[in-house]
A and B are shown apart, each in its own frame.
Chain A
Amino acid sequence: MNRFWGFVRKEFYHIWRDPRTLLILFGMPVAQILLFGYAVTNEIKEAQIAIIDQARDEASREITRSMLASGYFLLNEEVDNKEGVEEAFRQGNIKMAVVIPANLSRDLQHGGGATIQLLSDATDPNTSNTLVTYASQIIQRYNLRHQSPGTAAPIRIGISTEMRYNPQLKGVFLFVPGLMTIILMLVSAMMTSISITREKEMGNLEVLLVSPLQPIQIILGKVVPYLFLAMADALLVLGMGYFVFDVPLAGSLWLLLAESFVFVLSALSLGILISTVAKTQQVALLLSLMGLMLPTILLSGFMFPIDNMPIVLQVISHIVPARWFIEIVKGIMLQGLGLGDLWVQTLILLGFTVFFLVLSLKRFNIRLA
């Protein structure tokens, strides 16, 4: 046992000795969460639009004013005719063009309808949809304001909208659980696989294997420091989210940490598994990148809603451990769920962990023989 801890100490020295990697390990999550916490938001404001006002009368000016006063739109004054719209779209300068027909006020006063045309850049369908809705709300409000009670039916359904839990539509609420998962994966799986493969590539592994240490002790010794690092990183991300961005922690912190520990174990065993397959660091890196990081980012529900995926991908997402972990983290942090609600996910995660551990230890032994 003493020998084992000596080995662990050696591994720690290796990591400590390399301040650059350490800085990255701890600086990276901090920088990322700060950057994204403040920068990534889905709230659309001040979208550049062009208003082609062919009427230039009272009504058109009022509509223009209320559009610009809404805070959603910013007028691009360079585009003032229909021909310019096409070019502005092509250069990506505007998101929408509002075309107000000539004689708007007169047509309205004379009781004829008038049609305002909205051309929106739908290359991004969601933004396009949202902008059109904002604009139509503004125009509807104009209509309501000018509906004189005597003439037409004053049927006015008002709408008040509340964005609960996250009024500014910040991305950070989803980002903290996601970032935690990714960091844990990165530190545990990627770092371990690379550090073991490195010994292989350098030929040091042979030296270690002829030492009196058991192979399993060598693996564990490689893994333990990263376990600590990963947990420290998890705490860091959690703390930042909680204290800087007011991400709620509705459930139990201890449960969250325990679940993180389980997830880290499964990631570490994946790392070991990769290192048994890969012969060089480059291969280990690319394998863990393509085989672990990308599925974690893509299919875990962190960035992309799983419900929207085709069935095949939804099925595949079940074998991505991160998917279950993210469900657990979101449940604990945002909804305050306890183990009673999350035992299925926890069991699945535990199952993965045992499976990967057994598999990787087995492979490691085979390789030695």
Chain B
Amino acid sequence: MRTLGVLLYKEFRQIFRNKALLPIIFIMPVMQLVVLAYAADFEVRNVRLYVVDEDRSSLSRRLSGAFGGSSYFVMQDQSVVPVHGASALEEGVADLVLHIPAGWERDLMRGEVATVKIVANAIDGTKGALGAAYATRVIQDLNQKLIEELGPRVGSAGLLQAGAGRIDLAYRHEYNPGMDYKTFMVPGILVLLVTMIGMFLASMNIVREKELGTIEQLNVTPLRKGTFLLGKLLPFLLLGLFDFALGLGVARLLYGIPFEGSLVLVFSFATLYLILVLGLGLLISTISETQQQAMFVAWFLLVIFIFLSGLFTAIENMPAWAQQLTYLNPVRYFIEVIRLVMLKGATWQDVGQQAMVVAGYALVVNALAVWNYRKRS
């Protein structure tokens, strides 16, 4: 125990002595949290709409007017020639083209299904899909309004009121009624920061001692390798938790991200998670020869972890094999849990399964790291 204390003392002194490392540990996370939270905004607004109106009727003008009135769309030029719409899309002047065919109003008033066409530039998939979704709603709203206005006139007997016999829809966006993207992203970004700091610091550490040769000196001490690794791991655990708390404070004070669940739960899970991440870092450190190598392996894993974590693209949308793969991804669990707990107030019962997985994972990884670390080189 005393040995461990001395070891911790040494590690901490080394960290705090390193003037270049300190701002990276303390200031960078906050800066990243500030920048990332504002940058990672996938909200789609200002969809640039190009209208091709071959119909040139009062109704078709009303339809484009409805788009002009929607806050989601920015109207670009209009034309009556379909080719213009296609080239606007191609040149990147428009994100969405609304095509109203000739005879549209006539068909509509005859009671036929009069179809308008939406063509979205889907190179940016999110923008394409959401733009089309917004457009669908604008058109549906207009349809509904027309039924209400024209219904009694066109309808035969006039017995039924407009809208009679139809299903209305009421929808509620739960947990995030303001549809604020930050609410969604910031908890995930917290996870990202903790992961990056933990994994990089841990993976570079032992290999640094290796490269500098100081590992030999440590190896000839009567230190047991478990104690040695624990001494390496603990300072980073504390630093990681500190960064996490810092980030949580920023999230709360700067962004007003709701915190529905239990603080104790989040911190307990963060601890488990950090042990896992640091273990991974240590494992990388023990298999690498140089810091450069360690850094690359860590970076490689991190990029994959981040993209398959559900932070930026939902896991449910991935093909089945990729979804299976995400179960190996530590980041996935913490992102899931922190969102559930912070935004929806999930309890231990709700996230117990994830906690078990992470704990087991951490155990395996750390055991591997200890086993893999040999005292001789």
Q: How far is the CB of B219 from chain A (nearest CB, A)?
A: 20
Q: How far is the CB of A184 from chain B (nearest CB, A)?
A: 14
A153-B155, A159-B136, A161-B136 given as contacts; is B291 within 8 A of A281 (CB)?
A: yes
Give per-residue flags for A1-42: 1 if the beta carbon is below 8 A from chain B beta carbons, else 0: 000000000000000001011001100100110011011111
Give the interface segment out of A136-144, A217-225, A253-261, A358-366.
Answer: A136-144
A278/B20 in contact, CB under 8 A: yes
Which residues in window 323-347 of B have CB below 8 A to A? 325, 336, 339-340, 343-347
Which residues in window 173-220 of A have CB below 8 A to B? 173-174, 186, 190-191, 194-195, 198, 201-202
Q: Which residue of B lies closest to A28 (CB)?
A: B300
B168/A115 in contact, CB under 8 A: yes
Q: Is B208 an interface residue (CB 8 A)?
A: yes
B143/A40 in contact, CB under 8 A: no
Q: Which residue of B lies closest to A277 (CB)?
A: B20
A166/B307 in contact, CB under 8 A: no
Q: Is A77 an interface residue (CB 8 A)?
A: no
A163/B292 in contact, CB under 8 A: no
Which residues in window 342-371 of B have CB below 8 A to A? 343-347, 350-351
Q: Which residue of A lies closest to B41 (CB)?
A: A308
B169/A155 in contact, CB under 8 A: no
A119/B20 in contact, CB under 8 A: no
Task: Among B123, B174, B322, point to the contact of A166 (Cβ < 8 A).
Answer: B123
User: Once bound together, how far apart are the Cα atoms of A282 and B290, in whole Å?
Assistant: 11
B167/A143 in contact, CB under 8 A: yes
Q: Is B125 an interface residue (CB 8 A)?
A: yes
Question: For chain B, which range describes its interface: under 10, 10 to 19, 20 to 34, or 35 or more residues?
Answer: 35 or more
B120/A164 in contact, CB under 8 A: yes
Q: Which residue of A lies closest to B352 (CB)?
A: A91
Q: Which residue of B lies closest to A291 (CB)?
A: B28
A127/B314 in contact, CB under 8 A: yes
Give the interface segment out of B49-57, B126-134, B232-240, B242-250.
Answer: B126-134
Q: Which residues of B contact A151 (CB under 8 A)?
A: 155-157, 159-160, 164-165
A117-B172, A120-B172 given as contacts; is B292 within 8 A of A281 (CB)?
A: yes
A interface vs B, CB < 8 Å? 18, 20-21, 24-25, 28, 31-32, 35-36, 38-48, 63, 87, 89-92, 95, 104, 108-109, 111-130, 132-137, 139-140, 142-144, 146-147, 149-167, 169-171, 173-174, 186, 190-191, 194-195, 198, 201-202, 278-283, 285-287, 289-290, 294, 298-299, 303-305, 307-310, 313, 334-335
Can you list 17 A-B contacts with CB-CB less than 8 angstroms, sorted by A residue number?
A18-B293, A28-B296, A89-B174, A91-B351, A92-B344, A116-B169, A117-B170, A120-B172, A120-B174, A123-B176, A130-B130, A136-B169, A142-B167, A161-B135, A282-B291, A285-B291, A298-B40
